[in-house]
Amino acid sequence: MTDNCNLRKRRAYTHGMPAQLCRRLITVFSLSCALKTLAHEPERFFFEHPSPEGSETRRFEARIDRPDDSNGFAVMLIGGGSVTDMDWFVPASYDNNGKSVPVTMSGKPTRDAKTIGDALVDAGFTVMRFSSVHADDELANETPGMAMGIPFPYSVELTRSARDAFRARAPESLDRLILVGHSLGAPRATAVADDGVVGLVCLAGAYVSRTDASVLSSSAEAAKAIEPYDSDDDGVLAGAEIEQAEADEELHSAIIDHDNDGVIHAWEVAASWRLDGRSPDSDSAKFREGIPWFSDVVRDRRIPALMIFGGLDTISIHGPWLESHAKTHELDITVEYFPELGHNLSEEREDLIDSIDPGVVDQIVVWSVSRPRTPTP
């Protein structure tokens, strides 16, 4: 597990907050959050939404946590994958034909949404978490990992119902709402962002730039391109390996250390190719039918956004494009890289993950406090 020293290793593009102020705020919030506890009992409830077929009404569990001293803003957490419970629960292990297969490095389950939510409540935000697993899913009630998946467009409509349920119970969510989405939760957040949303936080966000399959597959092509120079076969280039790759006519302009960690990952080469036009952007007007691209939403609505990527995660290919997009259109987009972390924004070892890194949680809190101020005009 890493700590706030990650700040010295990350590179960010942002209009506004200086790095020194960011570090001071993180120190303040780390100390204050350590001293606070949730002052109010959570409001637990169920909201209703039609089944995918429309043949029945289903119930979904949610909870709202309120701070002792409200700052007047609200946050809704939106999980990734096909479905998640309200804690974004990941088990410590799972059973495979009678054999226990570990999932986490610590040997303990993770509940990253709870961790993020508690930190935001301590900072003065009213926070809602919800489950996209319907309450009557019998398999999920027995084993959370067996929850029934749902189509992506349906998950967007479900997220919209969750947002409306929040607004019916928390007035501050009407026009001072920040949406935090992990992975596929990021395009879900984008799809339900309206004039009352004053900030978007995308954690390892999927499809947050205008990408198609060719762009994402270019990381595999980049991995093959750097393989001849990867003398220690560790999947990255470092030191003399970088120098040798830079001498390659095809590669030299693509060897850019986008996350400033001293090594070159395949995704960084692919990201450089994309900026050079080798991998064209998608020409589709929408991400999905009726669902806009994230980059179009933040440009057209001028919504401030925080993008956090793990340097071990191929999905980080979106980051450099978003930095360029922000400069071109003068957008308030902050792009942060945590080089040592993977897609769950935790440490990774072999196929094991762990709880979300504390530095990531601190960054979410600091940005959420410092960035959004007024509703989008």
pLDDT tens string 225-248? 999 999 999 999 999 999 999 999
DSSP state of 189: H
Residue 291: strand pairing partners: 288
Measured between alpha carbons, how far is residue 259 from residues 75, 99, 262, 371 in Å? 28, 39, 8, 22
pLDDT tens string 281-319? 888 888 887 888 999 999 999 999 999 999 999 999 999
pLDDT of residue 21: 41
pLDDT of residue 11: 42
SS3 assignment for 1-56: CCCHHHHHCCCEECCCCCHHHHHHHHHHHHHHHHHCCCCCCCEEEEEEEECCCCCC
pTM for this prediction: 0.88
Domains of the chain, first to last: 4-210+288-370 (3.40.50.1820), 214-275 (no CATH)
Per-residue pLDDT of the chain (377 residues; tens, 9 = 90+): 333 333 333 444 343 344 444 444 444 444 444 444 445 789 999 999 999 998 899 999 999 999 999 999 999 999 999 999 999 999 999 888 899 999 999 999 999 999 999 999 999 999 999 999 999 887 777 666 667 889 999 999 999 999 999 999 999 999 999 999 999 999 999 999 999 999 999 999 999 998 766 666 788 899 999 999 999 999 999 999 999 999 999 899 999 999 999 999 999 999 999 999 887 788 888 888 788 899 999 999 999 999 999 999 999 999 999 999 999 999 999 999 999 999 999 999 988 999 999 999 999 999 999 976 555 44
Place of tokens 């992990």: 182
Place of tokens 């730039």: 209
Residue 249: strand pairing partners: none
